[in-house]
Amino acid sequence: MIWAVVACAAFLLNVVPAFMPPTWALLAWSHLQFGLPLVPLALVGALASTAGRVVLALGSRAFGERFVPRKWEENLAALERELEGHPGFGLPFLVLFLLGPAPSNHVFIAAGMSGAPLAPLAALFAVSRFVSYLLWIEATAVVTDSLASILSPAAGGWAAVIVQIGGIAVLIAVMQVDWSRLFRRLERRRGSGGGAEAVPVEGDRIGGE
């Protein structure tokens, strides 16, 4: 029964878009309070968290267009295509991000609205979260002493709230960038730097900026 409660709680913590306490805090509390073994607990937490984030991404994909301008979605899709074409650039940063304690909700919201394939991201998230939960649960020296305080949106204090607000601000800023135009300019400058004559793109003046 307790395993089902932990799994459901971890799932719910990851479905809610923002201002929820970290899953590792719930798992650490469960580990100390009920003596749940570390490895199975980290595995259950990783699978439940992944399921919650996938549902969040699918919800963002289904309902995002009602709240987000079409142009913002197109900008996210353009960024996703560029990163998919250059995995050596984005993958290491994504792995490091997912391994850390930082909230990942903004990554899945962006993935959902951009139409990015969710299976590779979910697999990477599950593996990285399993490893990070092992480390964070084991390393946690001080945990909250009640389930109510762990599930409180204010858990983590003002720092957690500031991180969430900062993540939302970054996501909005990323959506407003015209990534297609930006990457075209970078490609032209790279070609000019290599000695090749830059090919003007429609809408740009001949002769450069």
Q: What is the pLDDT of residues 87-109, one digit of tens each?
A: 555 566 566 556 655 667 778 88
57 within domain boundaries: yes
201 within domain boundaries: no
206 within domain boundaries: no
- Which pLDDT band holds residue 207 (cuts at 50, 70, 90)? very low
200 within domain boundaries: no
Check: CB of residue 15 under 8 Å from CB of residue 55: yes
Number of domains composing the chain: 1
Check: CB of residue 142 under 8 Å from CB of residue 150: no
What pLDDT was estimated at residue 56? 93
The sign one gets for the Cα dihedral 140, 141, 146, 152 is negative
Mean pLDDT of 17-30: 85
85 within domain boundaries: yes
Instruction: State how far the Cα of 195 lies from the Cα of 167, in Å rounded to an integer.
Output: 40
What pLDDT was estimated at residue 50? 95
The pLDDT tens digits for 128-165 are 889 889 888 887 744 444 445 544 544 455 555 565 56
Mean pLDDT of 39-67: 90
Q: What is the pTM of this model?
A: 0.64
198 within domain boundaries: no
Higher per-residue confidence, 9 vs 198? 9
45 within domain boundaries: yes
32 within domain boundaries: yes
Range of the domain at 168: 2-193
CB atoms within 10 A of CB 10: 27
Average pLDDT, the chain: 74
Higher per-residue confidence, 93 vs 63? 63
The sign one gets for the Cα dihedral 70, 177, 14, 21 is negative
pLDDT of residue 198 exceeding 80? no
